[in-house]
């Protein structure tokens, strides 16, 4: 791989390429993160970690949907005190930046978990203010500019590493939340988390997920995610990670053209560890064919008037 075509500097971090493992996919153990990094990811994001252990929801927690996956895992995680050991170990086996995804039930809790994650070795923190189906955290915070500002401000003051805020698509105008996050000190934004959705079993005549509603990911949401990135990039200079249904190089290029500097890949990794490498090769071929010297040169080109 020629790193000069694909290498980026993102919120002060050097990435060998702009493809990143999205949070929630294969994301707890250092060994699984290492496997993804070997598949060519430029950085990896952990599953979201909170202040204390949480079991998550009972099964079924995942359902195959028409063009994607519907999940309501319910933030299962071991808690930051236990997970800090895994972060420390991950830092010894990973050769790419490690982003730790963090959630909380208050601004102070977000800040405290983020600070412990950084202390353990996180290269960046991704704030999950967008889980669509867990009460009193996630989207309940990320849908309110006031709560969001408070969480971002407190967390920013508690960490000395890049702070990335992952936004929800389940809002009327994502730019209002983007603005709140930026003004409160976010170094970058990830757009977007899953789209609130559900499925019903026609035999039992009941919702399939134990939690009734969940989050839709995968190709079904790509056009929505792309629109969110475009809307944010139209108004703000902030670095953006595009996320939502990216499966091949063409999807990734669409997100760059919309204004993303990097892309997160989640659902597509479930089928193929090597998806990062395959997508990177496709982006390189595209850049050469179009006579561009770097992926940076095509970021935001779809906004030309
Ligand atoms: O754990 C989950 O159920 C979950 C989370 Br934290 C999230 O941010 N997005 C999602 O679709 N599921």
pTM for the structure as a whole = 0.97
Confidence of residue 55 (pLDDT cuts 50, 70, 90): very high
DSSP three-state, residue 45: strand
Burial class (CB in 10 A: 0-12, 13-18, 19+), 4: exposed
Of 75, 110, 191, 221, the one to substitute when testing ligand 1's pocket (max ligand atoms within 8 A of C-beta) is: 75
> Above pLDDT 70, what percent of the chain?
99
Tokens of 256: 């760059």
Atom index in ligand 1 nearest the CA of residue 72 equals 3
Give, using CA atoms, the residue closest to atom 11 of ligand 1: 215
* Domain that includes residue 107, residue range: 3-303
List the Cα angle 48/51/54 in 5-degree steps: 65
CATH number, position 202: 3.20.20.70
CB proximity list for 162: less than 8 A, separation 6 or greater: 10, 11, 12, 13, 123, 124, 125, 187, 188
User: Cβ < 6 Å from ligand 1: which residues?
Assistant: 24, 48, 71-75, 128, 130-131, 138, 193-194, 215
For ligand 1, the distance from its centroid to the CA atom of residue 100, given in whole angstroms, is 14
pLDDT in tens, 104-129: 999 999 999 999 999 999 999 999 99
Where is pLDDT greater, at 82 or 1? 82
CB proximity list for 159: less than 8 A, separation 6 or greater: 111, 114, 115, 118, 125
Confidence of residue 27 (pLDDT cuts 50, 70, 90): low
For ligand 1, the distance from its centroid to the CA atom of residue 19, given in whole angstroms, is 20
Q: Number of folded domains in the chain? A: 1
Determine whether 131 is an active site residue: yes
pLDDT in tens, 191-210: 999 999 999 999 999 999 99
Answer yes or no: are the C-beta atoms of 110 and 137 closer than 8 Å. Answer: no
Beta-carbon count within 10 A of 90 CB: 25
């Amino acid at each position: 791989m020629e790193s000069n075509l694909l290498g980026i500097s993102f919120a002060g971090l050097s990435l060998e390429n702009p493809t990143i493992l999205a949070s929630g996919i294969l994301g707890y153990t250092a060994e699984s993160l290492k496997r993804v990094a070997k598949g060519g990811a430029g950085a990896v994001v952990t599953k979201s970690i909170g202040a204390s252990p949480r079991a998550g929801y009972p099964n079924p927690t995942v359902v195959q949907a028409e063009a994607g996956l519907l999940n309501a895992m319910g933030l299962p995680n071991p808690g930051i005190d236990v997970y800090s050991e895994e972060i420390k170990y991950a830092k010894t086996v990973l050769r790419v930046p490690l982003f730790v995804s963090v959630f909380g039930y208050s601004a102070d809790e977000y800040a405290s978990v983020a600070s412990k994650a950084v202390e353990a070795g996180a290269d960046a923190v991704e704030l999950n203010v967008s889980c669509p189906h867990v009460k009193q955290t996630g989207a309940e915070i990320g849908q309110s500019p006031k709560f969001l500002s408070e969480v971002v401000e407190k967390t920013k003051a508690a960490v000395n590493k890049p702070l990335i805020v992952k936004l929800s698509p389940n809002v009327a105008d994502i730019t209002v939340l983007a603005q709140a996050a930026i003004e409160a000190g976010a170094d970058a934004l990830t757009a977007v988390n899953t789209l609130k959705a559900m499925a019903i079993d026609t035999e039992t005549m009941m919702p399939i997920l134990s939690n009734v509603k969940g989050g839709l990911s995968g190709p079904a949401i790509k056009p929505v995610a792309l629109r969110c990135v475009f809307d944010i990039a139209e108004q703000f200079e902030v670095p953006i990670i595009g996320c939502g249904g990216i499966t091949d190089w063409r999807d990734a290029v669409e997100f760059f053209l919309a204004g993303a500097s990097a892309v997160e890949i989640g659902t597509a990794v479930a089928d193929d560890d090597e998806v990062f490498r395959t997508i990177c090769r496709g982006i390189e071929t595209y850049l050469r064919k179009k006579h561009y010297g770097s992926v940076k040169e095509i970021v935001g080109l779809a906004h030309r008037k």
